Amino acid sequence: MIKLVRVDHRLVHGQVAVSWFNSLDVNTIFVVNDDVAHDDFRKSAIRLAKPENSKLVMKSVDDSIKAINSGVTDKYKMLIVVESVADAFKLIKGTGDKITGLNLGGTKPRTDTKNYSKTINLTSEEADELTELQNDGVEVWIQQVPSDDKQEFHK
């Protein structure tokens, strides 16, 4: 069962490993990112940050879509973390109606980004993708930690 999908450029860190993991009562952190899936160094670093009592899975976006669609992940209570809006968009589009919400936790400032909150910076293409997801019925909100109020994403 997918409890939350979160965009966070830092992937697994204190807020994810402690705050979100505990508040959601999940048992699995699923990191979905093509670069991480093929980078042993990044995998090792992420393994160090995960809570001891959690299962950690790291897969490419395409392999994650296949796993979710096959039902093999249904037995886990999962927090899915992606590094970018592009990863989230592809994952959500590829899994049909299995993902109904997207939490925006952190995207770093880059060239040609607009600031939407203290932790969310988006290009116009990313904002368009999020709007498309909303138009498809996906709830998209900004929330850094569980104790913060949800702020609905508006382009």
Half-sphere exposure in the Cβ direction for 50 (13 Å, CA):
22
Pull the structure tokens for residue 51: 């809570």
> Checking phi first, is residue 96 left (phi over 0); if not, alpha (psi -120 to 50) or beta?
left
Is the pLDDT at 127 greater than 90? The verdict is yes
pLDDT one-digit tens code per residue, 12-45: 987 777 899 999 999 999 999 999 999 999 999 9
CA 32 to chain centre: 8
Domain boundaries, the chain: 2-152
pTM of the predicted structure, to 2 decimals: 0.95
Is the pLDDT at 57 greater than 90? The verdict is yes
What's the confidence (pLDDT) of residue 155?
73
β-pairing verdict for 114-115 and 121-122: antiparallel
Instruction: Give kind and range of the element (H or E) at residue 85.
Output: helix 85-94
Distance (Å, whole) CA 8 – CA 19: 14
pLDDT one-digit tens code per residue, 104-119: 999 999 999 999 999 9
| Of the options 1.10.150.670, 3.40.35.10, 3.30.9.10, 1.10.10.10, the CATH number for the domain spanning 2-152 | 3.40.35.10
Distance (Å, whole) CA 92 – CA 25: 22
pLDDT grade, residue 95 (50/70/90)? very high
What's the confidence (pLDDT) of residue 18?
81
Q: DSSP 3-state assignment of 133?
A: helix
| C-beta separation of 79 from 26 below 8 A | yes
